[in-house]
Structure 1
Amino acid sequence: MQAPTGKSMQKFICNKQPLAVAVVLALAAQAQAHEHDHDQQTTRLPTSVVTGVAQSSPGTVVTDPKLPRQPVPASDAADYLKTIPGFSGMRSGGVNSDPSFRGMFGSRLKILSNGGEMLGACPNRMDSPSSYIAPETYDKLTVIKGPQSVQHGPGSYAAVVLFERGPEQFDEPGMRIDANVVAGSNNRWDRNLDAAIGNSQGYVRLMGQATRASDYKDGGRNKVPSRWDKWNAETALGWTPDDDTLLELTLGRGDGETRYGGRGMDGTRFLRENTALRFKKTNMSETWTAFEAQLYYNYADHIMANDKLRPAPLMPNGMPMAMATQVDRRTLGARVKSTWEWDDFELVAGMDAQTNWHRLRARYGSYPMNQPSVVRSHMEKDAEMNQLGVFGELTWALTERDRLIGGLRVDRHEATDEREYLEGRRNIPACPDVGTNLNCQPNPTANKKRTDTLPSGFIRHEHDMASLPATVYMGLGHSQRFPDYWELFSAANLSDGAGGYLPTAFKTVNPEKTTQLDFGFQYAQGPVELWASGYAGFIRDYILFSYKGANTTAHNVNARIMGAEIGGSHRFAPGWKADASLAYAWGKNSSDGRPLPQVAPMEARFGLGYERNDWSAGGLWRVVGKQSRVHEGYGNSIGKDFEKSSGFGVFSLNGAYRINSNWKFSAGIDNLFNKEYREHLNLDGVDIAGYSADSRMNEPGRIWWTRIDMSF
């Protein structure tokens, strides 16, 4: 059987006719005909709709991203993460949010897809790393809170987010299919397919998603520019010669466009290409239990423009000012690790490396005749970044009820500034009118390198209580994070008053150094589950952005952070379940006594559900408090604080019916009472959306959605 190419898969999933559904039904019938024992080989689809995700073990959250969720998520990973307490998202439209956890953004939050890291290219993070991830094509979503692991790369002291796929397992020739279709308000139309065919020697897995939606309307029935149209497709070829060996090659491609109400330009290309090769071998000896190796290549090609999905703005002379920018980024990474086990010990050790190149075509498009045009015929590199790290993580079973887990890693970082010139607030590799344009000056750090060797580590104690079915834990972690591309290269440069510029962030911004205490408990007995996780930390050299007019600069301050997430559920009667969660984050800029900006307000979620046989129904009440701790005009590489924000509450309903073990229908209404509200974390508005540059956009009003799931 020949696996479809990216283009053929694109045609399959993007056909606006119901071709995808027809093909899925045909494949399902074929799979059913070849089953030897239907009752044993089918899996009953769960009935309920996910409205919140609980912590599953000390400091760790695990969930299935394929399950239907409320509020109905967009196509990006950030909207899926928002169902986990402590997560928020920087909003700028209907899709491609930038996730935040405990008030921390960007590379403070490590997001890996099947072990690889997909880095965006846009200097303004229009294509955030999470925007390239299609969650429903993965089997498991794991969140590790705090600096409590060293296995997944450097610098992620807020959390590690893992979107993972497991290998396919066929004891005999067979196939499986998981698919769903979503339709809803604002012309929402999603198609998702995850299918595999194989035998005991190997498999072919096909994954695809196409999603689109029109501009939404807020609670006041005002249209907000937010439409999107995206697709992605992946093929995995696996070889499993025995139960202990896996060799898998993955090829993927995707693209799309989206309109933003919170940006001056729209995203007209989100081209993604990825290739990954992984090898895993288990049970090599009594003590050497696993060896894993991975090599991945990711490419992002992004174009933003102000005239394709919106009217181009007009100059004072009435002429249009059409502009566009193209950027791309190539990331090559590798990782190897081994696991050894003894009576009371488990050791995981290995190394990882990554190199990435960033290029741009500074500007192109139609300009007024009296303005100089900058048109590049090819992409020019402006930055290169490299990392090499080694790590080790040891688990020691002290007693039957006590475990001690600790880890260390050391990373070597190198960054090269490839920009020859700096122009205004745009950092570009070349400048055509240097010497005549005072806004275009030689870059003082051109072709300079920065190198740092940064250590990180943690130690955590877990104790299973004797008197209660509960586990308590406490861990101390230290993480040092090298500044990312956005912090080194995207910040603008301030004039020194003599036609030149002050030293750029590439030279002046120091790595962040975080020391954090994480603690909590996990309790489960009968119908009751309770959990809590708290943290308190100190960040030396926190990278703070200052937004002043057209200039954006980055500098270091010291900061203190603390907060907690708590939750629980109770099955108080047959079929009935109530659950609740609360998340709170606090931060302070210790250098000047101001609040740390871009921290989401307190948020609570209350859910009530009823499930009987093949039916379920539920409600979700999301309550968000006001945020008065702001530092206006300051933020991070994602966005800035505006004025204080008000609290709000949004109520939603859902229901589901399992037709049989293979088919399920679910539906819901989000924002049932058509509430008009705004999230605290939000990009500034633009004229196209009817908002000023110092106000937030409204969120969607009442939305209905339906979803059909199929699994064979």
Structure 2
Amino acid sequence: MKIFYGVLLCTLISATSYSQEKEKTKKDSIKQKTVKLDEVIVTGKLKKDPVFSASSNNYAKKIVQPKNVADLFNNINGFSVIKRGNYAIDPSFRGAQYEQLNIQYDGGTKAMHACPNRMDPVTTHIIPEEVSKIEIIKGPYTVRYGATFGGIINLVTQKPDYEDYGFHGKVSAGYESNGNSLVNLAELQYINEKFDIVANVGYRDFGDYKDGFGTTIPSSFKSSDYGIKLGYNFTKNQRLKIDWRQSFGRDVLHAALPMDTEYDNSSILSVDYKIENIGEVVKSISAKAYHSYVDHLMTNDNRPSFMMMEAASGVEATTIGGKIEMNWKPAKDVNLFSGIDVMNITRDGERTRLVKVMNGNVLTNPVTFNDKVWQDSYITDLGFFTEAKYNLNKNTILTAGIRYDNVTSDIQDPEADFAAMYDLEKRTEHTFSGTVSVKKELSNNYILEAAYGRGVRTANMIERFINHFNVGQDPYEYIGNPNLNAEVNNQFEIGIKGIEELKNGFNSFQFETSVYYSFFENYIVGIVDPTITRKFNPTASPTNVKVFQNLDEAYKTGFEAMTQVNFLDFYNFKSEFSYVYTKNNDLDESLPLTPPFTTKFTVGFEKEKLWANAQYNLVSKQDNISESYGETSTSGYQTLDLRFGGKPLKNVTLGLAVLNVFDKGYNSHLNFSFTNQANFGRTPVTEPGRNFSAFLQYKF
């Protein structure tokens, strides 16, 4: 890591010096207020955007309701969410989840969770209202943003309006009836030609919600956040940005996990630098460095198991990383991106158990045990990449990229039983990934895309080093395997999108569709080992454990489709479809967490100062399940959501919504089951019933 930051510093110094020399000799009369940093992946330009990329709606512009984490993904075609309550929510895309998705902020910043049960996924460490849009690359079709297996999710936070100097700000407040939930946000910014500063603070208080059956689901939480962004323009073509944010979660209830969160504190610092317009061959150099730290405490103080055993787990995770990338053009029709990136994840912590009942007998003197959760482990990924875009002709772009990752991992404080299972030593893995794709503009209105990507993911820390902990959807204890091979996703995709102008009151017709197929190598799943018995509460069922292993044969296929008709100038009708099918040939069942076929119909009205839509959601039954993972078949369901927004005054935005209008009782297939909860059996967590919401924002 010291070597990497030394290289980063030297690069910045030399780039700055070179830039200053260029500025003295270069004559440019064009006024440029700021350099565009690499915070976004999807630029809206055909020749620059990665193949099979997409961008979600502009959340900042069309606000209609308070944002929970799930709301950021629920309305994006192909996405589902994995839910353990109202806080610990992970996105799933095309049946890929967790580290199979490369999730980041602003083009590369990461914050990895500390809890082995993912009470604190990456999406909890940012204010949802601060996210202006979500960018997606739908497979391993680029090598520029870190090792990627199933796709990239880039959460883009709001940036200052560089065209409007001076002081600006906004305040907002929102309310949801189901849970009496409140959200608040205040932001202040100052911008001039040389520098800009943005500061925000937010507070969220979500209560337990009621599902469509009238049952109260334990899911309340409180969180407070603040952030500061500083930007400085050294010259017209170079810029430095520093971003600092902290988030504090308190009293978080997790309906589908064995414990609750007492506190979850995270700190994220990132530094971005870019110099543009350097020369004829070297066009730009950009650099990023970031550091995140998560401090997490979970207990079972309010759970049924507390009467037999008190448990508290204090865990922490540190993520350090960075990237240097050079954009250069050795020839007129060739655009190259070459660079180095690194990410280091370290985790540690322990669980303290005060056992009051043992083998059915109440202990006069309770016994204390300490269990190593992460066993002081780390994983470091050092990657080298080059990606080229070649203009075959004015309408066709060929993209090809190759990436090498050097991954080292080690466990520095193993439990005795884990050390007895494996020959533990520092391990180094060498992985290669790559992609090739073609994007062709068939006419001014149609684009054809075809791609192949080889995405590689080395095992995460849970899969490598967890030791007799419940980390799955089922009640099994899981044991890691430090000798796992890296997962490989060989993904093929072809798609077409376009727009056609219409007449007679119909303005235009838009469509987009793609079909994909993936075959996996070394897919990682937990497999029951009948030779090993559970370590904690050994008389409980199941008595055996699961050990993470590689599968030989597994695949995935599916499609997404969207059509939209725009008519009578301000109206639109949109339909969206997404389907994914997975198969684990080794166990003759589906891969875990495969979402069902989903359809959405939306009728909307949109003007500059007034907008509204009604969205009808149809989710099919899912009986293609992974029984070995503890899944059960899920019934289909249908829900209706109504949203309305407008600007009654110049700087005021008002939003109203009614979600699940018919108060439908249902659960999503990807929801985990109630665990260690009084009055709840081990059944999937149900979703909120009818929910009225209001949101008000004032900008100045």
- TM norm. shorter chain > 0.5: yes
The offset of 1:130, in angstroms, is 1.9
CA distance in 1, matches of 2:692, 2:465: 42
Structure 2 match to 1:330 = 318
Alignment check: 8 A CA contact 1:224 1:689 kept: no
- Identify if the C-alpha distance between structure 1 residues 68 and 312 changes in structure 2 by more than 3 Å, giving closer, same or farther: farther
Structure 2 match to 1:150 = 143
The alignment status of 1:666 with 2:655, answered yes or no, reads yes
Structure 2 match to 1:394 = 388
CA deviation vs aligned residue, 1:41-84 (integer Å, no higher than 9, x gap): xxxxxxxxxxxxxxx9851111334355678541x3x4412221
Structure 2 match to 1:542 = 523
Equivalent pairs counted in the alignment come to 615
Match of 1:520 among 495, 506, 522: 495
Structure 1 match to 2:239 = 246
Structure 2 match to 1:600 = 595
In the superposition, the TM-score normalised over structure 2's length comes to 0.83
Structure 1 match to 2:379 = 385
CA distance in 2, matches of 1:449, 1:129: 27
The offset of 1:509, in angstroms, is 1.9
Alignment check: 8 A CA contact 2:478 2:547 kept: no
- Mapping of 1:526-565 within 5 angstroms? 526=501, 527-546=508-527, 549=542, 551-557=545-551, 558-565=553-560
Structure 2 match to 1:222 = 215
Match of 1:194 among 187, 200, 211: 187
The offset of 1:514, in angstroms, is 1.5
CA distance in 1, matches of 2:270, 2:389: 29
- Identify if the C-alpha distance between structure 1 residues 447 and 509 changes in structure 2 by more than 3 Å, giving closer, same or farther: closer
The alignment status of 1:705 with 2:699, answered yes or no, reads no
CA distance in 2, matches of 1:555, 1:138: 37
The offset of 1:441, in angstroms, is 6.5
Alignment check: 8 A CA contact 1:121 1:302 kept: yes
Structure 1 match to 2:104 = 112
Percent sequence identity over matched residues? 22
Structure 2 match to 1:488 = 464
Structure 1 match to 2:36 = none
Structure 1 match to 2:87 = 95
CA deviation vs aligned residue, 1:352-382 (integer Å, no higher than 9, x gap): 0111211112225574554430359x99852
Amino acid at match of 1:336: I
CA RMSD of aligned residues (A): 2.5
CA deviation vs aligned residue, 1:388-437 (integer Å, no higher than 9, x gap): 01001111111111110111110000110223315xxxxxxxxxxxxxxx
Structure 2 match to 1:14 = none
Which sections of structure 1, spanning at least 5 residues, go unmatched? Answer: 1-55, 423-439, 495-501, 635-640
Alignment check: 8 A CA contact 1:411 1:453 kept: yes
Amino acid at match of 1:482: T
The offset of 1:253, in angstroms, is 1.2
SS at match of 1:454: strand
666-675 vs 186-195, greater mean Cα deviation:
186-195
Structure 1 match to 2:77 = 85
Alignment check: 8 A CA contact 1:79 1:97 kept: no
The offset of 1:249, in angstroms, is 1.7
The offset of 1:242, in angstroms, is 2.5
Match of 2:130 among 131, 134, 137: 137
- Identify if the C-alpha distance between structure 1 residues 70 and 613 changes in structure 2 by more than 3 Å, giving closer, same or farther: closer
CA distance in 2, matches of 1:147, 1:237: 33
The alignment status of 1:174 with 2:155, answered yes or no, reads no
The offset of 1:324, in angstroms, is 1.1
CA distance in 2, matches of 1:661, 1:287: 47
Structure 2 match to 1:7 = none
The alignment status of 1:465 with 2:442, answered yes or no, reads yes
- Mapping of 1:26-425 within 5 angstroms? 58-63=51-56, 64-68=58-62, 73-74=67-68, 76=69, 78-114=70-106, 115-154=108-147, 156-165=148-157, 168=160, 170=162, 173-185=165-177, 186-257=179-250, 258-307=252-301, 310-311=302-303, 313=305, 319-341=307-329, 342-364=331-353, 367=356, 369=363, 370-374=365-369, 382-422=376-416
Alignment check: 8 A CA contact 2:175 2:695 kept: yes
CA distance in 1, matches of 2:572, 2:132: 25
- Identify if the C-alpha distance between structure 1 residues 237 and 614 changes in structure 2 by more than 3 Å, giving closer, same or farther: closer
- Identify if the C-alpha distance between structure 1 residues 493 and 177 changes in structure 2 by more than 3 Å, giving closer, same or farther: closer
CA distance in 1, matches of 2:479, 2:312: 25
CA distance in 2, matches of 1:584, 1:68: 28
SS at match of 2:517: strand
SS at match of 1:313: helix
- Identify if the C-alpha distance between structure 1 residues 87 and 159 changes in structure 2 by more than 3 Å, giving closer, same or farther: same
Amino acid at match of 1:471: I
Match of 1:590 among 585, 588, 597: 585
The offset of 1:270, in angstroms, is 1.3
Amino acid at match of 2:386: G
CA distance in 2, matches of 1:688, 1:506: 30
CA distance in 2, matches of 1:503, 1:361: 16
CA distance in 1, matches of 2:119, 2:345: 18
Amino acid at match of 1:87: F
Structure 2 match to 1:46 = none
Alignment check: 8 A CA contact 1:664 1:709 kept: yes
SS at match of 1:488: helix
Amino acid at match of 2:694: T
Structure 1 match to 2:426 = 449
CA deviation vs aligned residue, 1:579-598 (integer Å, no higher than 9, x gap): 11011011101223322221
Alignment check: 8 A CA contact 2:52 2:137 kept: yes
CA distance in 1, matches of 2:677, 2:405: 45
CA distance in 2, matches of 1:367, 1:67: 55
The offset of 1:473, in angstroms, is 0.7
The offset of 1:507, in angstroms, is 3.5
The offset of 1:623, in angstroms, is 0.7
In the superposition, the TM-score normalised over structure 1's length comes to 0.82
CA distance in 1, matches of 2:431, 2:419: 31
CA distance in 1, matches of 2:469, 2:647: 58
SS at match of 1:94: coil
211-220 vs 79-88, greater mean Cα deviation:
79-88
CA deviation vs aligned residue, 1:601-660 (integer Å, no higher than 9, x gap): 0111111112356333221111100001012132xxxxxx42111100001112222113
Structure 1 match to 2:453 = 477
Alignment check: 8 A CA contact 1:417 1:445 kept: no
122-131 vs 698-707, greater mean Cα deviation:
122-131
- Identify if the C-alpha distance between structure 1 residues 626 and 290 changes in structure 2 by more than 3 Å, giving closer, same or farther: same
- Identify if the C-alpha distance between structure 1 residues 618 and 110 changes in structure 2 by more than 3 Å, giving closer, same or farther: same
Match of 1:580 among 539, 561, 575: 575
Structure 1 match to 2:533 = none
CA distance in 2, matches of 1:159, 1:152: 10
CA distance in 1, matches of 2:525, 2:657: 40
CA distance in 2, matches of 1:199, 1:455: 45
CA distance in 1, matches of 2:93, 2:73: 9
Structure 2 match to 1:12 = none
Amino acid at match of 1:111: I
Which sections of structure 2, spanning at least 5 residues, go unmatched? Answer: 1-48, 358-362, 471-476, 502-507, 529-540
CA deviation vs aligned residue, 1:290-334 (integer Å, no higher than 9, x gap): 111111110011111111xx25535xxxx4532111110111111
The alignment status of 1:678 with 2:667, answered yes or no, reads yes
Alignment check: 8 A CA contact 2:149 2:488 kept: no
Moved over 6 A (4+): none
